[in-house]
Amino acid sequence: MTPRRTSVPDAPPAEELVVDPIACTGHGLCAELFPERVALDDWGYPMIHGSVSPDLHEHAVRAVKACPALALKLHRAR
């Protein structure tokens, strides 16, 4: 007998920040607004580290909306 599986509500899905490297011109606002997940490389272009948990969603959206080159996108993680 295996115990009945208790149903656990799915954790809210994490999201991924994605940079379009061609569109990005290195303004750097994303790193300014969202340092929790975006750092700049030695040439001023963003490096993303880690996925976006629900508690960071609003910060991520703010960074995406602020990008002057429309190069930053927030994707549902697969």
Q: Is 32 helix (H, G, I), strand (E, B) or coil?
A: helix
Q: Rounded to an integer, what distance in angstroms lies between the CA atom of residue 12 and that of residue 54?
A: 7
Per CB under 8 A, does 32 bind another protein?
Answer: no
Alpha helices (H) in the chain, listed in sequence order: 29-33, 57-66
Q: Is 45 in the site for another protein (CB under 8 A)?
A: yes
50 lines the binding site for another protein (CB under 8 A): no
Shortest Å, Cβ 2 to another protein: 38
24 lies in the binding site for another protein (CB under 8 A) = yes
The residue ranges that bind another protein (CB under 8 A) are: 20-22, 24-26, 41-45, 47
